[in-house]
Amino acid sequence: QVQLIESGGGLVQAGVSLTLACVGSGDKFSNYAIGWFRQSPGKKREFVAAISWSGASTYYSDSVKGRFTISRDNAKNTVYLQMKSLNPEDTAAYYCAADIARKNGGSIYLGEYDYWGQGTQVTVSS
């Protein structure tokens, strides 16, 4: 069992930066690939970014590539999502998820993630 807790969301103006954190429980957290997803009202949950168990490999959706950076600190059981140049289209609830089967990560499919956090809301005003 893995518990994930997201934090760092908030209400910000367009153009600013924000960093989300995903803290995981258990001593096997460092073995898992972690993904970030987001969901806006009325829309499907979509892939944002993912990182392999070691942090050596990272993956991004086209909509955030070049603006968002995913990283991890396994000593702290934490994965970060640094978001720059935020715009109103980035407004969503952001969720982190653990993929226990694919250590090198990269899956964009929700169904391949086994554990999910409760989400943190990011609202970007224009």
pLDDT at 105: 82
Percent of the chain with pLDDT over 90: 89
Q: Over range 39-49, report the average pLDDT.
A: 96
Q: Write the pLDDT tens digit of every residue in 67-115.
A: 999 999 999 999 999 999 999 999 999 999 999 988 888 899 999 999 9
Q: Over range 20-29, report the average pLDDT.
A: 92
For residue 78, what are the contacts with CB-CB under 8 A and spacing of at least 6? Answer: 21, 22, 23, 24, 72
| CB neighbours of residue 13 within 10 Å | 10
pLDDT at 120: 98
- CA-based torsion, 2, 80, 122, 109: positive or negative: negative
Question: Is the separation of the CB atoms in 109 and 71 below 8 Å?
Answer: no
pLDDT at 103: 83
